[in-house]
Amino acid sequence: MSRCEFRWINDRTLKISGTIDENFSIDEELPKFKEEVWIDLRDVARINSCGVREWIKAIVKNQSKIHYINCSSVIVTQFSMIPEFIGRHGIVESFETQFVCPSCGHEDSMILVVGKDIQAGLESYMESPEMKCSECGEHMECDHNPELYFSFLSEVA
């Protein structure tokens, strides 16, 4: 199990990677947040219930506008299940979605950009954006239930 690591990519972008669990503490990083911060969550591989609690406590304390980018599917699941996870000032900019090809079984993932690849604010999400299989060229299907996986987008418009 890997621990959670923080790395500032620049003065406005924080990359979080590893596991968010009961040891998660962003308190040392919070003072570095300016009025606006971008948090890259692509490399968050796991989050447990204690990690969710610690994340929400940290986000509630923070008054900055938070732009979430490259969110791993682990994070997207939390967005959909726990609306408080995004926070009052959170904006989801981009997130990962897994796809599977029904023709050849190839699996792939894609970072979806909100407003470009998928729209926020729809009442429901019955279908996912289109993705062609890099192996056979056929249409791939979302490896999640789109209605559940993308549900957080209904609330972030």
Q: Is residue 6 part of a domain?
A: yes
Q: Is residue 113 part of a domain?
A: no
DSSP-derived secondary structure letter, 124? -
Same structural domain for residues 80 and 142? no
What is the predicted pLDDT for the residue at 6? 92
Are 151 and 75 in a shared domain?
no
Q: In total, how many domains does the chain have?
A: 2
The CA R_g of the chain, rounded to the nearest whole Å, is 16
Q: Determine the structural domain holding residue 13 and report its residue range.
A: 1-92
Block mean pLDDT (10 aa), the chain, length 157: 84 93 80 80 96 90 89 95 90 96 96 94 86 95 92 81
The whole model's pTM is what? 0.89
Q: Which of 79, 100, 81 is nearest to 156 (CA)?
A: 79
* Pairing outcome for strands 107-113 and 90-92: unpaired
Res 1: pLDDT: 45
Residues 6+ apart with CB under 8 A from 31: none
Write phi, then psi, for 93 (nearest 5 degrees): -95, -45
Give the CATH number, domain containing residue 28.
3.30.750.24
What element of type H or E holds 39?
A: strand 36-47
pLDDT of residue 88: 87
Q: Tell me, yes or no, whether 103 and 78 share the same domain.
A: no
The answer to whether position 4 is within a domain reads yes
Is the same domain home to 38 and 86? yes
Q: Answer yes or no: do 71 and 2 share one domain.
A: yes
| Sign of the alpha-carbon dihedral angle for 149, 152, 86, 15 | positive
